[in-house]
Structure 1
């Protein structure tokens, strides 16, 4: 699987395999814009976002122009002015940019559209823990009143989530929406906390709420969202692991394409709008929007992606949703003046390019109002792969690090959580750090139900514990209170329920 936060360590997860059984179609930056009435030419069928002044009146006029330009409207989010379109006209985006009422327009991919459907269902690869390791974990769990595999979860005490659960495990009125590869809601550690009415399959841009539509296409490869779900809210039910907020609800909003697991803009726009309209309090975003690791505002297509996803994320925030997102796994300083992106576009042929992080954004993590999360290891140092940057990172949380190893019985520096098919596994990545923060945010929302997304973000930062910059790491800059590795610090679940 090309993982959501890391096809470059993308889905922001790095699979480290310890399961337990206990475009360049056409980039429409044409030098000469076609007229709105230009006859469509033949080209690859692509998906586009056409961003307009919000409202029904403008949408109606623009939709007529879309039809004349050879486009087919898939869905119109009139409340935010985002229209998703399919077209085989190579000049479609350039044509639409000349239409009154259209503010930005561009292709969301570089590879042609293809029919979507489920892939063959397989089982995740299983690599059992040793009998002695499981026995040691079970003995420790029994002695301490923990879940059977909880002694292997060094990450929970690292943010005091084990202590927080005894004070307030979270409210059933709070739901965290997991925008990801889908969630196996039949997992024994997840089913008690799963909210089907707040779940959907948004792949392609239109929400499908039919039963089970939110589940992974292929459990053997699309396990990322299920792993994230367990970290947030695996139930304390005498089975497997425990989540950071074991009393809250979780929902799945699937946005990954079958087979490729790519997260395109139209799907992510659908997900944010769906979350906002279905009472979700927090969204977890452990991915970047494909096919560009960074979307640059001076490129018309990429600017349209920033605009469309930004509108949807902003809509969610205005409706009371806090969006939490992974910083990325490329070890980059997001505050640098220039970076090299050699992996984009990742749906066709990548071309190495130099980007300026001030105008080229990792979406959605660098969108305004989003909580950007860096990863740490058991030694409370930045994980070796985690992106960082002064003024770019809001908070940090355990994401795992194979170079930072805990004591027995764990002896694994990565994050243990749920997998499809009733399994558990260790993974690492800022993908794994983000659900820790989403879980703490859910605890804060449980304790302060009337708090706005901005207030929850302030509390996350105010209560975070900052280790300060390591003396032997020159990449860390800033102060004891705010720095490039941890932002305001590592989140604190106990403070979330006590203060």
Structure 2
């Protein structure tokens, strides 16, 4: 596969041909880097204090606990009056409810496990879909993608829930890059990124990632793609990673969020403290945390027209993507890089070090 707009090619070769291919490619002055394609996975950590088992060369969807809510259960447990401040605390924390902006006229891409295209809250916001998983439709059999789409652009007045989306009038481009089992590849993710850029996305939200080891460099392929995307008008937002077990262990920001040209988002709890699982900036260049967003007990849409609560940096990243979408509406002539600068400069300072929360808690304009 060749992605001309991104300057990347994915080549399928036999194991005994890899060395020769790399040697030939590295001798070509126009080729910046060659890297092996990685198999990618989405995983759910079902225990909130699951111990770290090591570093794995995989992509993970980064959510922690998952709680499903049917409409009937919500009506029974909450009655006619919603406790919005508790249920959708993330929107209150980033002041989205007080913003007059809606994301209208802005395209934002969500690259994930797809979306429930029949969810009554999301049918109007989803503008285009594409699946890059062989043999699979864009329908979300996992739940992670639908949740992220809802956080980015759920409507201002859902039919059966309080508001949970940041930019309710944005046009969402949904790219399925991970299967219903949460498995994919670099090639699928890159294909989704190329499609999003070609569709005119101003923001690309990627709640996926792979753990890296201390001292490991950022992937040059994703960095080059991110730079090209910036030049073409798209800012990439990615989850920082879920591998920390604070306070005893802080893991480095995962890939591809550790690329200098990708906005890395950390997760905060309801007390605005750093979530115990949120990765930190311990790897130097490219391993920084740029911004922090709500990422614990986040309420959003789920397949089957229902809702669920999830925790993880995967939930923080869509909050950031939604706010960047609002900024793009407010500043239509701004470059993608400028949108990132505006996001960081408008953050609310926090007591934690920048290595944990970057510029602070993002705020809606």
Q: Match of 1:318?
A: 231
CA separation in 2, counterparts of 1:201 and 1:126?
25
Equivalence map 1:59-458=2 (5 Å): 75-87=1-13, 89-99=14-24, 100-101=27-28, 103-109=32-38, 126=68, 129=73, 133-135=77-79, 138-140=80-82, 152-164=87-99, 167-171=100-104, 173-196=105-128, 199-203=129-133, 213-216=137-140, 219=141, 222-239=142-159, 240-242=161-163, 243-259=165-181, 261-288=182-209, 293-294=211-212, 306-331=219-244, 362-389=254-281, 392-400=288-296, 414-458=297-341
C-alpha distance in 2 between matches for 1:238 and 1:266: 35
Shift of 1:202: 2.1
After superposition, the Cα gap between the structure-2 partners of 1:103 and 1:96, relative to the gap in structure 1 and judged at 3 Å, is farther
Query: 1:227-267, CA deviations, whole angstroms, 9 ceiling, x for partnerless residues?
Result: 001111111234124211112111111111353x1242111
Distance in structure 2 (CA, Å) of the matches to 1:186 and 1:127: 17
Superposition deviation, residue 134 in structure 1: 1.6
Unaligned runs of 5+ in 1: 1-74, 112-123, 142-148, 341-356, 401-413, 470-476, 478-482
TM-score (normalised: structure 2): 0.80
Structure 1 pair 110/370, CA: closer, same or farther in 2 (3 Å)?
A: closer
Is the CA contact 1:265–1:309 (under 8 Å) kept in the aligned structure 2? no
Kept in 2: contact 1:183–1:215 (CA 8 A): yes
Distance 2:244 2:138 in 1: 32
RMSD over aligned Cα atoms: 2.9
Please identify runs of 4+ aligned residues in structure 1 that moved more than 3 A.
78-81, 102-107, 124-133, 295-298
The higher relative CO (CA closer than 8 Å, separation ≥ 6) is in 2
Partner SS state of residue 342, structure 2: helix
Q: Secondary structure at the match of 1:328?
A: coil
Give deviations 1:92-138, integer Å, cap 9, x for gaps: 22010222535544432479xxxxxxxxxxxx995554765321xx3
CA gap 1:437/1:76 in 2 versus in 1, 3 angstroms: same
Whole-angstrom CA distance in 2 between matches of 1:110 and 1:156? 34
Compared with structure 1, are the counterparts of its residues 294 and 420 closer, same or farther at alpha carbon in structure 2 (3 Å cutoff)? Answer: same
Q: Tell me the distance in 1 between the aligned counterparts of 2:39 and 2:332.
A: 43
Using the alignment, how far apart are the partners of 1:150 and 1:170 within structure 2? 22
Q: Deviations over 1:52-76 (max 9, x none)?
A: xxxxxxxxxxxxxxxxxxxxxxx22
Q: So what's the TM-score if we normalise by structure 1?
A: 0.60
Match in the other structure for 2:45: none
Larger Rg: 1
SS in 2 for 1:85: coil
Q: Aligned partners of 1:161, 1:378: CA distance in 2, in Å?
A: 16
Any idea what SS the aligned residue of 2:124 has? helix
Instruction: Provide the rounded CA distance (Å) in 1 between the counterparts of 2:263 and 2:241.
Output: 13
Residue 368 of structure 1 aligns to a residue in which SS? coil
SS where residue 425 of structure 1 aligns? strand
